[in-house]
Structure 1
């Protein structure tokens, strides 16, 4: 070997030693390590003296060794000229990382196999980012599906509850009225489930505002203690000052109570639940699924058995539950997930078997001063006048029939239309009703679009827009004379919406 060859080999060795982001080393024909660079030591934790002479299967997990993956990798590299895969690899300290592995065969001038060159790269962060994107896309798809299902269920429940209300009013025998009341309560429980589905799909109606989390948690303390029982202790860890956040206070209370109950259920023998809060900042470069900015991280930590990786990955999937039959709907965490997303934040779950679970609610900080809690009492309205004409618009015949039934039971006259176009034709004949009540989700012309047309042609005609969705096209709320009615609605809620639409004497 001449001096040029020696210089070339020295430069090559210096190059390999200078690379610290990749583990680059050589194996003999049997798979035993014959060289080791600084990147390999940094990545895998072994020094050169510790690893040279040992088999490269040392870096594989027990599961992969049992499946004989190391031998198969060398066989593929020898036969096909290259082996490249991704998988879990193990460091000296036992920790795992997700690796991209390349094995190339090394042959002499005669083509005889003399060993292998192996390159390993840690791509754990890349895999985590890909999984986060995939999870986000999956949840978005499931959210669209559940949102559509919830809307259809709301239509069915509107028809069911309307018919049951009228049947109960007309029931003569008390035992029949009791049976109808049971059916009403069952339908109302179904309405609660659809609200949770809408919460997950980010289509529930929220009253977003400035919320003081510290005051909210203190106000819930007695409720949480009564709910979880004496076996579990709740500890709070809050700094003296916390910034207000932007969310729906009532829904945040429900979400926090749900997490506390989950934490209690994870500790059947009792234990401690820690509710903590701290201010966090997200930089643009590390924003991920959250926008860069300031957040309040509200966390609930338990001392339970924790979750394995599969359970953790499915925890926010609707109807997924590890509780027994009849003990859980599988909609609690999806509801919390939806609330966080709709509030501009994120639900982050951290758990491992034997280490308990921590649920983090990341909520965006608002610069507004925390609002004073508003009383839940409804603003009083005079009853809607019974001597009035109502145009009812809905493409669902069941909902249309039952809305008409509820209105006629109140003594009102009705005109029916099964589409926005038909409603405009009726109005175009000059037969103007006192008020219009329309569904929103209709084909061709939506209820929101119908509201715009009515406002443009008949600006003094009040409209009630019935919908199960939170999100409506921009500008709908600014259309004069439009009152929103959430599905499913009762006769009392329908009457109230009509009274609100008619306030100021517009219906006379």
Structure 2
């Protein structure tokens, strides 16, 4: 058998990388040889995409790919493990390449379908987004107008604070939508589940108030999982707040860790495997069956008159799915509501705490953004932090500066720009300035980028950034430079 490094295989991998749809190269035995960026973005961090990975584990049911592999070609509809919301399967197509026994596996979107239920869900999402953002924009425009006429520094600061808070709420709404769609930026670590739940339990007890009894029950031995710690905290916070509100602010909440072995296809189409579990149980009135069927839908809420947005549980489901896990909702008669989170167990040691980012020494930064206001504000923030900043209004202007001899110590660039986008600019800048570190800025999720930015050693900062987050990201990028 020829090795991966042969010219034919390298050529096949190079062509794979250029395909616009999600695709993978398989060996004759069905094991994975390589994937393209679109496929890695679709799989997310929870599903294995390295050479030799078991591709059948990407799909539900787990043996759904076997028939295609036996036939050597064909097409089937399979659900991707952990998809949110669970819905119409992907079209999975397998075709032989006629070289070294290799096959091309393509993961295609399902055929478009229109039905009343999906249209109603889309309408509810659109209405919910419009309602929340119109409220936020109303605060921004009203406070900005008041700031123009404010007399005195105290009044001006109050209006500016209202604008800043509205912007933060808008950013939080976008993060919730990205979590629902499984597209938010994740930073998974190997965690001790008991330690994380115990620490969050102490915080939640203070948040719940004296009228709520919060009990934390930890399993022995403790289990480890691979998840984003801040996102896991968000899951527990959302579930605890929902439980408190359902009980009328009086009652008992129990958060328990445990383990579960799934031998066959479990409830909710959970693949077989070993899982660590978190159960959140309340003593409230429970969830009626008619409501239980819809609780994970975005903008579905029974508390709209009390400010409910219907994004809390949709966010929880999205975070759990992007971590490779599953969530079950149950409401046995007379026993309140019970949510069980199943996360794949990790048998290795917990990750050590990352070293703190050193304060960055002043550096020369090339800042690129086609939004003039953001370009100005970013330059001001970095200059106040002691850096020297050269600005460019788009990718072509930045490339002209580099070709004319500009040699910055860091390139900070927006991704979505007309003409030459930030990813292409970073690639061409690296040819002119070998070793130039790069920090990408984008209002889109990192998983949508067409390049393996982490593999290249680049940094990523999601918009909207704050002054502090921008300076920290710049310091981290310069720290990686060494």
Instruction: With the length of structure 1 as denominator, give the TM-score of the two structures.
Output: 0.59
CA distance in 1, matches of 2:328, 2:424: 38
For structure 2, the residue ranges without an aligned partner over 5 or more in a row are 1-84, 91-109, 111-117
Question: Which residue does 1:241 correspond to in 2?
Answer: 221
Question: Which residue does 1:69 correspond to in 2?
Answer: none
Q: Retained in 1: the 8 A contact 2:381–2:467?
A: yes
Give the deviation of 1:241 after TM superposition: 1.2
Question: Which residue does 1:498 correspond to in 2?
Answer: 474
* Alignment partner of 1:380 is 2:355: no
CA distance in 1, matches of 2:231, 2:321: 13
Give the deviation of 1:329 after TM superposition: 3.1
The one of 459, 464, 474 equivalent to 2:439 is 464
Where 1:253 maps in the other structure, the secondary structure is helix
Query: Which residues of 2 match residues 78-117 of structure 1 at below 5 A?
Result: none
* Alignment partner of 1:439 is 2:411: no
Question: Which residue does 1:215 correspond to in 2?
Answer: 195
Question: Which residue does 1:187 correspond to in 2?
Answer: 167
Give the deviation of 1:240 after TM superposition: 1.9
Q: Retained in 2: the 8 A contact 1:383–1:495?
A: no
Q: Retained in 1: the 8 A contact 2:439–2:461?
A: yes
Where 1:382 maps in the other structure, the secondary structure is coil
CA distance in 2, matches of 1:347, 1:499: 37
Where 2:454 maps in the other structure, the secondary structure is helix
Question: Which residue does 1:253 correspond to in 2?
Answer: 233
CA distance in 2, matches of 1:493, 1:190: 17
How much is the aligned-residue C-alpha RMSD, in angstroms? 4.0
Task: Check 1:299–1:445 CA distance in 2 against 1; reply closer, same or farther (3 A cut).
Answer: farther
Q: Retained in 2: the 8 A contact 1:234–1:274?
A: yes
The one of 374, 379, 404 equivalent to 1:399 is 374
Give the deviation of 1:354 after TM superposition: 5.1
Question: Which residue does 2:349 correspond to in 1?
Answer: 369
The one of 485, 490, 501 equivalent to 2:461 is 485
For structure 1, the residue ranges without an aligned partner over 5 or more in a row are 1-130
Question: Which residue does 1:296 correspond to in 2?
Answer: 276
Query: Which residues of 2 match residues 133-152 of structure 1 at below 5 A?
Result: 133-134=87-88
Q: Retained in 2: the 8 A contact 1:452–1:479?
A: no
User: Deviation digits for residues 284-320 of structure 1, max 9, x if unmatched?
Assistant: 6558644432111211112222223342232122232
Task: Check 1:282–1:135 CA distance in 2 against 1; reply closer, same or farther (3 A cut).
Answer: same
User: Deviation digits for residues 338-393 of structure 1, max 9, x if unmatched?
Assistant: 11011000122123675521111111101112345x38x952313534xx4x4333
Where 1:133 maps in the other structure, the secondary structure is coil
Please identify the structure whose Cα radius of gyration is greater: 1
Where 1:476 maps in the other structure, the secondary structure is coil
Instruction: With the length of structure 2 as denominator, give the TM-score of the two structures.
Output: 0.62
The one of 408, 419, 427 equivalent to 2:402 is 427
CA distance in 2, matches of 1:340, 1:505: 34
CA distance in 2, matches of 1:256, 1:504: 33
CA distance in 1, matches of 2:435, 2:213: 59
Question: Which residue does 1:229 correspond to in 2?
Answer: 209
CA distance in 2, matches of 1:135, 1:324: 32
Where 1:477 maps in the other structure, the secondary structure is coil
Query: Which residues of 2 match residues 7-406 of structure 1 at below 5 A?
Result: 133-134=87-88, 173-268=153-248, 270-283=250-263, 285-286=265-266, 289-351=269-331, 355-371=335-351, 374=353, 378-385=356-363, 388=364, 390-404=365-379, 406=381
Task: Check 1:505–1:362 CA distance in 2 against 1; reply closer, same or farther (3 A cut).
Answer: closer
Q: Retained in 1: the 8 A contact 2:402–2:432?
A: no
Q: Retained in 1: the 8 A contact 2:362–2:388?
A: no
Task: Check 1:320–1:209 CA distance in 2 against 1; reply closer, same or farther (3 A cut).
Answer: same
CA distance in 1, matches of 2:360, 2:242: 43
